[in-house]
Structure 1
Amino acid sequence: MSTANHEPPGPTGSGVSRRTLLLGTAAGAGALALGAGSPANAAPSATFVKGADISWMPQMEANGYYWNNKSGQRQDLFTILKSYGIGAISLRTWVNPSSDPANGHCSIQETAKMAARCRDAGLQVLLGFHFGDTWNSVGVQNPPKAWANMTYSQMLTALRTYVSNSLNVIKAAGVKPGWVKIGNEQNTGICHPVGSVSKPAQMTGLLNAAYDASKQIFPTTPVLIHLAQPQKMDSIRAFMNAYRGNGGKWDITGLSSYAGGSNVAPILGNMQTIQSTYGKPIMQVEFGGPVSKATATRDALRQFVSGIKSFGGLGTFYWEPEGYSPFTSYDMTAWSSSTRRPTAALDGFL
């Protein structure tokens, strides 16, 4: 955990994997217009995107969980989120996930059904590939079990085929994603060791295969790479320089930050530096704060939204605000387990 720019432990803070942290019990705008298909011609949408990752929603529903609105009335979760100005939903997908409610599911078939629900609710979808069977994050980048012993050439084919097939499933469900994210907090690369940042040509080859497959299915949908911990600029530069230096393709730089208080301002400065240095608009694809400190989280969210807007960034997504105990022990959600109401944290979007 950084002391200079505090990030809470978890998805981007200490490098601890979500697999360790999310030991939940399940008891009971047309986003970006691309000119001529060229990433260099990307032009930001006029509307700043406010979003949330709610990939747990189907499994929470299946296990009897529900949500009340701010007034304490049971209401459709999409409706509640839209009342806060949220217009986009981030959904993760895994290759061959387990049936664990909190740490599994999210197969592409399940994700396509959820994406269709989002579309029907009038919400854009950000589809995120982890390239694993469960959580990959800043500290963990394990390939799917089926790919674990592949050579680079074999993995290149498998990954390209997987992305293409997955996006065809999404397309068949009648959904055009607003964005596609190739990788999750991939500071150290993807699918270790084959796609590690220490093997930059192979890492770039795999990610470019994902980029190209995405553009073949959805030519105008922007593609994101996703890095964590923008307070650690050495790590950011190591990936970005390796990726750009080997011909990496991307349209938007996705960033995770769970910072709060006095640490938000310097991280906003780093985000702006990343945007100007590498020439792609940034989007904060993960944010959250302790559920027990909802007011502080609200204030940090407001800072991020206004700050990112100020330098032309594209949006901010809250990570799994709808989760609550005992479904998950993750403590940076934005819902009260006792009242099932949203906390003050989401007011940061208003």
Structure 2
Amino acid sequence: MKYFMPLILILLFSCSKPSKTEPQDNFTLSADLSSLPMLESKNIIFYEDSVATGMLRIMYDNGFRTIRMRLWKNPAEGHSGFAEVKAFAKKVHSYGMKVWLSVHYSDTWADPGQQSPPAEWEGLTFNDLKDSAYNYTVKIMKEIKPDIIQIGNEINQGFILPYGDIYENEGGFLDLVSRCSKAVRDNSSAKIMIHYAGYKGSLSFFSKLQNIDYDLIGLSYYPIWHGKNLDSLKYIMNSLSSAYGKRVAIAETAYPFTLMWNDWTNNIVGMKDQLILPDFPATENGQGKFFEAIVNMVKNEEMGFGVSYWGAELVAFNGPEAKDGSPWENQAFFDFNNQSLPILKVLSSKTP
């Protein structure tokens, strides 16, 4: 890496941890920064008030006390793998922040569209698979030491398919979740979260988990996929906590500050009909108002646990003409010059 000395000094002084904004007690304000280690490997620099500042310092100063990150078993390119995530979690903890770990139990993305098992687990007997999942979870708890751990990511259809397919093998699914939960309880006091994408169908899904030992319900909420009615989301959150006695979090959400782009990679959100209009236009203030509305909705619920924003760090990173860059740069916490946006001020007097 080639840096000029003034920039090195700026970044070194950015590593201290004074807080500008103190978070509300008992409410978790989080951002998913899973790609930050990859971005740092590409020397991407972020700015607050036009000053180059470390990402974790920016988050801490703006009241974020929890960082969410994903974990893949044996990813092809190494990013989001065990060694990288362990180092990242240690760095987050050094700031006095908590680690919210989304364990995908896969070598790649796990979501409602795919829940493939790690390659090294394919072909195992079910008993051997349960032991492997247990031992892997024990290793996570002992070495990464998350404060919040998700058993799977967006597991609407189950996880580690086909073994844990909730539709084809509900008993197997419950056995796997229970085994992973036991691994956490045997080795840690971390909070266990079960994560569901959206809210439609969630009451039925969580009714199947009443004999599972877990602490938190997590929901993803993206208007493009899960609807634009915040009142419906609020109603289901309240219904879930009332029915199952669990605190509820929005584990993933995001919103654009523009419909423009900063590379040639197709953005996931890029059209007006994907927005909640007129309440939340795709502007810097509109993005901030959306996040503020989600945060306040959860914060005002008696059993609301917190909110985590997904892709806060995902600025364009491969150049302005990259077709393999970020599909999310218009939903990040930073503009196209990597300057921090008003959305970061949701807990301060500068709320947009």
TM-score, reference length from structure 2: 0.78
- How far did residue 297 of structure 1 move? 2.3
Which whole-Å deviations, capped at 9, do the CAs of 1:47-103 have from their partners, x for residues lacking one? 21111111111110111211011x11100111111222111101111111111xxxx
The CA RMSD measured in Å over matched residues stands at 1.9
- How far did residue 134 of structure 1 move? 0.8
Larger radius of gyration: 2
Q: Which amino acid aligns with 1:112?
A: K
For 2:72 and 2:37, the matched residues in 1 are separated by: 15
Q: Does 1:275 align with 2:241?
A: yes
User: Which among 303, 309, 315 is matched to residue 299 of structure 2?
Assistant: 309
For 1:243 and 1:146, the matched residues in 2 are separated by: 28
- How far did residue 348 of structure 1 move? 3.2
Q: Does 1:59 align with 2:33?
A: no
Higher RCO (CA-CA < 8 Å; seq separation 6+): 1
List aligned pairs for 1:1-350, cutoff 5 A.
Answer: 46-69=25-48, 71-99=49-77, 105-170=79-144, 176-198=145-167, 199-218=169-188, 220-230=189-199, 232=200, 234=201, 236-244=202-210, 247-259=211-223, 263-292=229-258, 293=282, 294-312=284-302, 313-326=304-317, 327-331=325-329, 333-336=331-334, 338-350=336-348
Q: Which amino acid aligns with 1:345?
A: I
For 2:76 and 2:151, the matched residues in 1 are separated by: 21
- How far did residue 272 of structure 1 move? 1.3
- How far did residue 349 of structure 1 move? 4.2
For 1:146 and 1:157, the matched residues in 2 are separated by: 13
Q: Which runs of 5+ in 1 are unaligned?
A: 1-44, 171-175
- How far did residue 332 of structure 1 move? 5.4
For 1:279 and 1:269, the matched residues in 2 are separated by: 15
- How far did residue 248 of structure 1 move? 1.8
Structure-2 change in CA distance of 1:109 and 1:262 (3 Å): closer
Contact 2:257/2:285 (8 A) holds in 1: no
Contact 2:312/2:333 (8 A) holds in 1: yes
Contact 2:181/2:192 (8 A) holds in 1: yes
For 2:121 and 2:73, the matched residues in 1 are separated by: 10
Q: How many residues align?
A: 290
**Identity over the aligned pairs, expressed in percent?**
25
The DSSP-based 3-state class of the residue aligned with 1:190 is: coil
TM-score, reference length from structure 1: 0.78
The DSSP-based 3-state class of the residue aligned with 1:154 is: helix
